[in-house]
Amino acid sequence: MSRQLTQQEIDAVFQTTPGRQAQSKGTRRAIPFDFRRPDRIAKSQLRAIHQLHDNFVRNLASSLSAYLRSYLIINLVSVEQLSYSEFLECLPSPTCIASLGLKPYDGNAVLELNSSLIFPILEILLGGDGKLQFNSQREVTEIEQVLLDGLFRLILRDLHEAWTFVTNIDFSIETIETEPQFLQILAPTEAVVAVAIEIRIGDSIGMMNIAMPSIIIKMMRQKFDQQWSLRKSASTDEEQTRMLQLIQTARLPSEVLLSGPQLLLRDLMNLKEGDILSFEFPTSRPLDLKVNGQKKYEGEIVNAGRRAVFRIREQFRNLQPQ
């Protein structure tokens, strides 16, 4: 059965304006895609890598402090995706940059330590305090590279332990260079995940940079999803037992407090030799023993030979044992 179309029906058929097409239901917008970087990873996986290296930084701070016998501060600055050429352009020259093997995976990663860190560390290893001023414009000699072998092994050990939560990677140093442009182990346009870490040793501040090929990390996506979903679940009895064994040898500060009344600042400033300050504390009231700042036990001070000791009467009733 044929009929004549109205003008409105004809207009609806040929309605092809861009604005109205975008508003039509079910229309999908185009998403930009960089064909030069097909190996870029998802943001969710990038967040997982950030958390992984955050754990690495905390462990490295303890390891390096013990190794150098010096107080230091390590902070995770950023985790981002760059091309390999952009990563190299961000590095100072000269520096200490190493090519890392990633067995059992094919490919190489990069580990770089600024000269502003290398020379203070070398001085500490040789018995100094790391506070001397150094010329960071010179290159690291072969003898100094040998002295840094223990430092690199310690860093790679903690890096291996951090990645164990996802996969087992055997990090190893293959070559060491002093100029970033000499380490052409990846194509300039190849995407890498760059991890920037700030290290402070005394008055010296420098960066440690790590770059891993995005294509290798992308291959681990399924392992990331599995392992990090497991970590979000409740810890098992075996993990809790292991954690308890690790912290049992920790040292906690303890103090016995004789609590007294509040005192005005002007009265405190007027105190002089011979004055008596009343605490209004009955001798029958038990004293508080605080462990790590938390009230843990109640007891009393007694003599043990020539020393005063604290005898525990009972555990603080509002603190439940873990």
- Give Cα 135 distance to the centre of its chain: 29
3-state secondary structure (DSSP) of residue 72: strand
| Integer Cα distance of 264 and 132 in angstroms | 47
Whether residue 288 sits in one domain with residue 219 = no
Residues 165 and 116 in one domain: yes
Which of 82, 262, 79 minimizes the C-alpha distance to 162?
79
Tell me if 36 is assigned to some domain.
Answer: no
Instruction: Say whether both 223 and 256 belong to one domain.
Output: no
203 part of a folded domain: yes
Which residues neighbour 92 within 8 Å (Cβ) at sequence distance 6 or greater?
A: 114, 115, 136
CA angle, residues 315, 318, 322, in degrees to nearest 5: 70
Query: What is the band of 151 on the pLDDT scale with cuts at 50, 70, 90?
Result: very high
Q: How many of the other CB atoms lie within 10 Å of CB of 148?
A: 21
Q: Map residue 164 onto helix, strand or coil.
A: coil
* CA dist., res. 244 & res. 228, Å (int): 22
Structural domain boundaries, residue 289: 252-261+281-322
Cis amide prior to 94 (ω within 30 degrees): yes
The domain spanning residue 196 has which CATH number? 3.40.1550.10
Report the pLDDT value the prediction gives residue 172, as an integer from 0 to 100: 92
Decide the pairing of beta strands 108-113 and 170-177. Answer: unpaired
Q: Do 128 and 256 fall within a single domain?
A: no
Per-residue pLDDT band at 40 (split at 50, 70, 90): low
CB 183 within 8 A of CB 177: yes
Structure tokens at 26: 């079910």
Q: Mark whether 155 and 203 lie in a shared domain.
A: yes
d(CA 175, CA 200): 26
Q: Looking at the domain assignment, is residue 5 inside a domain?
A: no
Inter-residue contact 81 to 191 (CB < 8 Å): yes
Domains identified in the chain, total number: 2
Give one DSSP letter per residue of 108-145, joined into a string.
EEEEEE-HHHHHHHHHHHTT--S-S---TTSPPPHHHH
Residue 156 maps to a domain: yes
CB-CB contact of 70 with 202 (8 Å): yes
Residues 136 and 49 in one domain: yes
Q: Are residues 217 and 297 in the same domain?
A: no
pLDDT > 70? residue 226 = no
C-alpha to C-alpha distance for 175 and 101, rounded to whole angstroms: 9
| Residues 159 and 63 reside in one and the same domain | yes
- Position 46 scores a pLDDT of 84
pLDDT of 322 > 50? The answer is no
Q: Give the lowest-confidence range in 25-34, 65-74, 199-208.
A: 25-34
Give exposure, 216-229, as e/b (b: 16+ Cβ within 10 Å): bbbbbeeebeebbe
Q: What is the mean pLDDT of the chain?
A: 81
Q: How far apart (Å, rounded) are the C-alpha atoms in residues 192 and 182?
A: 17
Q: Residue 75: inside a domain, yes or no?
A: yes
Distance CA 221, CA 39 (A): 12
Q: Do 222 and 286 have their domain in common?
A: no
Same domain for 139 and 183? yes
Please indicate, yes or no, whether residues 195 and 257 belong to a single structural domain of this protein.
no
Quick one: tokens of 66?
Answer: 């013990």
SS3 213: strand
* Percent of the chain whose predicted confidence (pLDDT) is above 90: 20
- Residue 302 included in any domain: yes
Cα separation, 299 vs 284, whole angstroms: 10
Q: What angle (nearest 5°) sits at the alpha carbon of residue 208, between those of residues 207 and 213?
A: 130
- Read off the pLDDT of residues 247-304 as tens digits, 9 standing for 90 and up: 888 888 888 877 777 888 888 888 888 888 887 777 778 888 888 878 888 888 888 8
Identify the three-state secondary structure at position 179: coil
CA distance 256 to 304: 16
Same domain, 221 and 257: no
The stretch 172-193 carries a mean pLDDT of 88
